[in-house]
Amino acid sequence: MSAQSKQTLGEFIIDRQEDFKYSSGELTRLFNSIRLAAKIVSHKVNQAGLVDIIGAFGQENIQGEQQQKLDVYANEVFIQTLINREIVCGIGSEENDDFISIEGKDGNNENKYIVLMDPLDGSSNIDVNVSVGTIFSIYRRVTPIGTPVTKEDFLQKGENQVAAGYVIYGSSTMLVYTTGNGVNGFTLNPAIGTFYLSHPEMSISEDGGIYSVNEGNYVHFPQGVKDYIKYCQAEEGNRPYTSRYIGSLVSDIHRNILKGGIYLYPTSAKAPNGKLRLLYECNPIAFIIEQAGGKASDGFNRIMEIEPTELHQRVPFFCGSKNMVEKAEEFMSLNK
């Protein structure tokens, strides 16, 4: 089937509007904004090496991590695109110390949605031409419409998400999202700037043959994770599994959805609370994984049931093929 005969992202969203329990034109406008920002960032990523956009920005973000130039650029693009379209009342970004409250032209904002995002996941890989991505999460605000948003609007459990997705900037640019009715992927045709449905009804197998973890941190991992890794490496049945770790969350998750596998970023002596952020990374990825038929937990509990206590909260993360995650949880429970 040619790209011209496939459904565009815009057409798909309109056709599936009834799947969204808060069906309104706002969702279409919100996704149009994300789609536009993704195309702008994709273009800039593809210019890496040709323009002065790679390397460190020279500042650290709220997590104490060195910001890359593309981190700052992508953050500004997504924030400004969302603000300019006047479709959200608040934005939370991994790159910002605090959330952004957005006022309407009359000083009030009647919009219902907030967006939480990691504007450029894996940005340190851009210097070596490895795939990077954007992760986003959409909630309905819980405070009264027309009043300024508060932290309460952002500190919601993942199960309250109304939509989530990621964009992967790789050999092609893809946007993958869910509104709670399955997962669908769209590939950008850069010649005409349009996303086409390329991966309908994405699903992850119950079992897989890939485990993704930074084994360089093995000595710092809890015993349950060490034992699970040894299980993955043992010759028995369909094991040993293949080890594949890119170090770009979106890329590792995307591969495992398509091929079946588990991704682990546990606690460690160096990261006692884990490294990944609950609101910007774990909740949206967990929503996608669950909608694709997989499972996501912190090793003991479902990720989307965790009550957030702070904007930049970190948690351990185990997600992927259902049976693989449950086996990892077994090893964690044995070593509590």
List the binding residues: 94, 118, 120-124, 214, 245, 263-265, 275, 281
Burial readout 51-67 (b: 16 or more C-beta within 10 A, e: otherwise) = eebbeeeeeebeeeeeb
29 C-beta neighbours (distance < 10 Å), count: 16
Residue 266 burial by CB count (10 A; 0-12/13-18/19+): exposed, middle or buried? buried
* Annotated binding-site ranges for Mg(2+): 94, 118, 120-121, 281
Q: What is the DSSP letter of 305?
A: G
**Which positions ≥6 away from 207 have C-beta within 8 Å?**
238, 260, 321, 323, 324
**Which positions ≥6 away from 15 have C-beta within 8 Å?**
7
Are 178 and 164 spatial neighbours (Cβ–Cβ below 8 Å)? yes
73 CB-side CA count, 13 A: 20
What distances in angstroms separate CA 97 from CA 61, 62, 203, one per listed residue? 8, 5, 35
Q: Which of 248, 326, 309 is nearest to 273 (CA)?
A: 309
Spell out where the chain has E strands.
Answer: 56-60, 66-68, 90-93, 100-101, 113-121, 132-140, 163-169, 173-178, 183-189, 194-202, 210-212, 242-243, 262-265, 295-297, 317-320
Using omega within 30 degrees of 0 as the cis cutoff, is the peptide bond preceding 200 cis?
no
What does the angle CA 205 – CA 308 – CA 131 come to, to the nearest 5 degrees? 45
Q: Which of 328, 176, 124 is nearest to 241 (CA)?
A: 328
What does the angle CA 319 – CA 325 – CA 328 come to, to the nearest 5 degrees? 120
* Annotated binding-site ranges for substrate: 121-124, 214, 245, 263-265, 275
Signed CA dihedral, 191, 195, 197, 199: sign only:
positive
Q: What is the DSSP letter of 34?
A: H
